[in-house]
Amino acid sequence: MMELALHYGEGPIYLKEIARRQNIPDKYLGNLILPLKTAGLIRAERGAHGGYYLARKPDEITMKDVVEALEGSLSLVECVETPGACSRSADCPSHDLWSAVSENMASTLQSITLKQFAEKHKNKTPESIYYI
């Protein structure tokens, strides 16, 4: 996602090129494509000039969108995600704590766009670290 954001508007990018630029194994990156496509965050273009590109502008995609597409729910415990999963939720101080943590994490990720994230880290990231 970082690579697609950094090169937004330049046309589709081959998966192998993204993998090379970010030093990510092709197979691993290939496993991430389907959930990102399913979430409507990226699109694929077939053919000689094909590749992958963002489905929306980088400033219209939040980090919450990306994390949820790849990881699923942001809730750290089941009782926060599924009301009634635990009969003690109403009286449980841990439930309140995990609920607040989950809400804060979601709020923080929602407040950061992919464009902001890409711009902030464009020149700060050592080559040995990659972001999806």
Tally the C-alpha atoms within 13 A of residue 96's C-alpha that lie toward its C-beta.
4
15-55 tens-digit pLDDT: 999 999 888 999 999 999 999 999 999 999 998 888 999 99
Cα–Cα distance for residue pair 86/69, rounded to 1 Å: 26
pLDDT of residue 130: 57
| CATH level 3 topology of 1-56 | Arc Repressor Mutant, subunit A (1.10.10)
72-123 tens-digit pLDDT: 988 888 888 887 788 887 788 888 899 899 999 999 999 999 999 999 877 6
Cα–Cα distance for residue pair 62/127, rounded to 1 Å: 24
Q: Where are the domains of the chain?
A: 1-56
Q: Which of 75, 121, 83, 117 is nearest to 99 (CA)?
A: 75
Tokens matching residue 123: 């020149």
